[in-house]
Amino acid sequence: MKDHSAKLSILRTLSRGGFHSGEELGDALGMSRAAVSKHIKGIQAWGVDVFRVQGKGYRLAQPLQMLDEEALKQGVSKPISLIPIIDSTNQYLLERSESLESGAVCIAEYQAKGRGRRGREWVSPFGSNLYMSMFWRLDAGMAAAWVKPCRRCRYRRSTGATRYRWC
């Protein structure tokens, strides 16, 4: 897995609000302003709107609350893996399926190669949604998986009434 610690550190600083100069961010991370600028471009590629004002620095266009792994694990008995940047939460669990217990969860802030239904591309901007996969071991093995799992999705129609849709 690629190391995204510098970008995540910059995001944590920017998520506190206000402007932060490239020099301030670089000093905190032990890197040059040019390196900070390169990391900011990478953050923008994740779908985060970061803008720059000359003489003031960088700032997030919208407030951002990053996930807290310790808070997520409170009161939960099943294992939770918070991996801020991942190719695919589903692929992560599939690669570890032999060692996982049923109910294990993988959560991410951003998926670089997430897949939707029928293999379609899954667009997942950083910090905009909760990207999660759950591993469930079937007692009867994969033979029990022939029934397509259903999930109830709530959506709001133009009338304002809440309706349910089965996927």
Residue 140: per-residue pLDDT: 66
Q: 45-64 burial by CB neighbour count: b if 16+ within 10 A, else e?
A: ebebebeeeeeebbebeeeb
pLDDT grade for 77, boundaries at 50, 70 and 90: confident
pTM value > 0.85:
no
Residue among 112, 115, 108 nearest 129 (CA): 108
What letter represents residue 57's amino acid? G
Taking CA atoms, 56 is separated from 20, 24, 34, in Å, by 7, 11, 16
Per-residue pLDDT tens for 131-159? 888 888 877 665 555 444 444 444 444 44
Provide the percentage of residues in the chain whose pLDDT is more than 90: 38
Per-residue pLDDT, averaged over 56-64, amounts to 92
Per-residue pLDDT tens for 88-136? 888 899 899 888 888 899 999 998 887 777 777 777 788 888 888 888 8
Per-residue pLDDT tens for 38-59? 999 999 999 899 999 999 999 9
Beta-strand (E) ranges in the chain?
50-53, 57-60, 80-82, 85-86, 105-108, 110-111, 131-134, 152-156, 162-166
- Which pair of tokens denotes residue 79? 């294992």
